[in-house]
Structure 1
């Protein structure tokens, strides 16, 4: 299993279970059994209720306006100005940088 969720089309899944010859085993040797029908209905309900929807994105600990320091390069304390393409944009005292989130740390109580 990967760390990233695999997003699927729930409607395509239900259609495949209903119509694909490869899903015949789901129905119990080609027959529409009560248990198979209930299982399908349960799956349909779970999808409709969002039980398989991906988790919402977590809010980053660092927000615009926060004071941060680069972990590997001594740029001093900078101010986060925004986010773009997965990077954090920081205005340091002598340089403006687009940093990977894992390379910066929030600082408290220090003057820039």
Structure 2
């Protein structure tokens, strides 16, 4: 997805709508687009957060070398999970010079695995 700077776009639209050659129709069109942008109509949807439960097996999206972990608990905020990656001995001992240990990880960084 491409991103556009909202402030720059609004500034550009407002400048265009104030030009002397702009007709009433063009001005109302610019103003309509400005209102929709300010209302948040075109804001991106939030990333879906996976639903995980205690005991689910997960992998980390960014750190694939730590292997499969087990969810110990979901934080009260609902945004992080306490995961033990050392419980299942499939972490990459060659690429990691440390053993994975239980820690809190963002839910959007975890992928649920079957089995």
TM-score by length of 2: 0.49
Please point out which of 33, 37, 51 is paired with 2:27. 37
**Secondary structure of 1:80's aligned partner:** strand
Match of 2:56 in 1: 67
1:1-112 → structure 2 map (5 Å cutoff):
5-19=1-15, 31-61=21-51, 63=52, 65-68=54-57, 78-80=69-71, 90-94=85-89, 105-107=113-115
Structure 1's unaligned 5+ residue stretches are 83-87, 108-112
Structure 1 consecutive aligned stretches of length 4 or more whose deviation exceeds 4 Å: 95-98
**Secondary structure of 1:37's aligned partner:** helix
Aligned length, in residue pairs:
83
**Secondary structure of 1:39's aligned partner:** helix
Displacement of 1:68 after TM fit?
Answer: 1.7
Superposed CA RMSD in Å reads 3.8
CA distance in 2, matches of 1:49, 1:32: 24
Structure 2's unaligned 5+ residue stretches are 60-66, 74-82, 93-99, 101-108
TM-score by length of 1: 0.50
- The structure whose RCO (Cα within 8 Å, separation 6+) is larger is 2
CA distance in 1, matches of 2:110, 2:6: 33
Per-residue CA deviation, residues 11-37 of structure 1 (Å, 9 max, x unaligned), is 210212343xxx69xx7xx71211111
